[in-house]
């Protein structure tokens, strides 16, 4: 599928197919969105959010970036998070990474001089490697990569829990559960690595004063 015209044709066929099964599908969906999940995933083309969980349009609010990161200075991810919680009132936030992640692989190597901006994005993953260096450096390289992929997912879930957006939602009584999932490229399966909710302990230095 190298021709974008093919995408437009596929879109027409898809739309007709959906309408043939449910004539009011788009009419109803156009009125409002009411997704129950926020998905923060990797941009990798092999891990399309809706496809791997067999979801329909309207079911998942999606944000994707290289290596599924939640960066505290990234207004893109944070505004998605704020909107998902405060306006859409989602009850579950899923950080989904995947084995074989090229972003994590790249972060374990020297920085490519030409990729000035990408390097900055991957720097946060290098910091996670450094945080767990004792555990990671004794592993063979394939296991090290897989473990850093898992640690990165868990760190992003903690970063979510450290935001004022999530903590104030929990204080307001808005029950939002944070999930860290890893996807296997070779079997198409998701595994839960971590789950945090309003009862989970948060390191004091990340708590807010009121
Ligand atoms: Co990836």
44 has catalytic annotation: yes
Q: Of these residues, 22, 46, 127, 142, which one is catalytic?
A: 46
Distance 43 CA to ligand 1 centre (A): 6
Distance 108 CA to ligand 1 centre (A): 13
pLDDT in tens, 61-71: 999 999 999 99
In the prediction, which pLDDT does 2 show? 81
Summarize the confidence of residues 36-56 as an average pLDDT: 98
pLDDT in tens, 146-170: 999 999 999 999 999 999 999 999 9
Mean residue pLDDT of the chain comes to 97
Tokens matching residue 4 = 């974008």
**pLDDT confidence bin for 1, thresholds 50/70/90:** low
Distance 173 CA to ligand 1 centre (A): 33
**Which residue did the predictor score with more confidence, 2 or 78?**
78
Phi/psi zone of residue 63: left (φ > 0), alpha (ψ -120 to 50 degrees), beta? beta
Distance 91 CA to ligand 1 centre (A): 25
> Whose structure tokens read 């897989």?
146
Q: Within the chain, how many helices (H) and strands (E) appear?
A: 9, 5
5 has catalytic annotation: no
Distance CA 141, CA 136 (A): 9
pLDDT in tens, 96-148: 999 999 999 999 999 999 999 999 999 999 999 999 999 999 999 999 999 99
CATH architecture of the domain 35-204 equals 3-Layer(aba) Sandwich (3.40)
- Kindly give the pairing relationship between strand 177-183 and strand 190-196: antiparallel
Q: Of these residues, 63, 77, 92, 98, which one is catalytic?
A: 98
46 has catalytic annotation: yes
Summarize the confidence of residues 40-58 as an average pLDDT: 98
Q: Of these residues, 63, 77, 96, 101, which one is catalytic?
A: 101
Distance 151 CA to ligand 1 centre (A): 14
Q: What is the pTM of this model?
A: 0.96
Distance 131 CA to ligand 1 centre (A): 20
Q: Read off the DSSP letter of residue 111.
A: P
């Amino acid at each position: 599928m190298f021709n974008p015209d093919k995408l437009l044709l596929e879109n027409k066929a898809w739309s007709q197919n959906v309408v043939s099964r449910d004539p009011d599908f788009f009419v109803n969906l156009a009125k409002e969105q009411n997704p129950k999940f926020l998905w923060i995933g990797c941009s990798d083309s092999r891990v399309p959010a809706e496809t791997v969980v067999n979801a329909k349009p309207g079911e998942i609010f999606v944000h994707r970036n290289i290596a599924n990161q939640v960066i505290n200075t990234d207004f893109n991810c944070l505004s998605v998070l704020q909107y998902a919680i405060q306006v859409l009132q989602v009850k579950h936030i899923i950080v989904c990474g995947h084995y074989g992640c090229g972003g994590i692989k790249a972060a374990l190597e020297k920085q490519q001089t030409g990729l000035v901006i990408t390097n900055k994005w991957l720097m946060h993953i290098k910091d996670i490697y450094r945080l767990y260096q004792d555990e990671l450096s004794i592993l063979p390289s394939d296991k090290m990569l897989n473990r850093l992929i898992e640690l990165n997912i868990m760190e992003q879930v903690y970063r979510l829990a450290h935001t004022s957006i999530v903590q104030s939602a929990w204080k307001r009584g808005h029950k939002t559960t944070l999930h860290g999932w890893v996807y296997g490229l070779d079997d198409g399966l998701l595994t839960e690595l971590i789950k945090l909710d309003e009862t989970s302990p948060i390191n004091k230095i990340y708590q807010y004063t009121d």
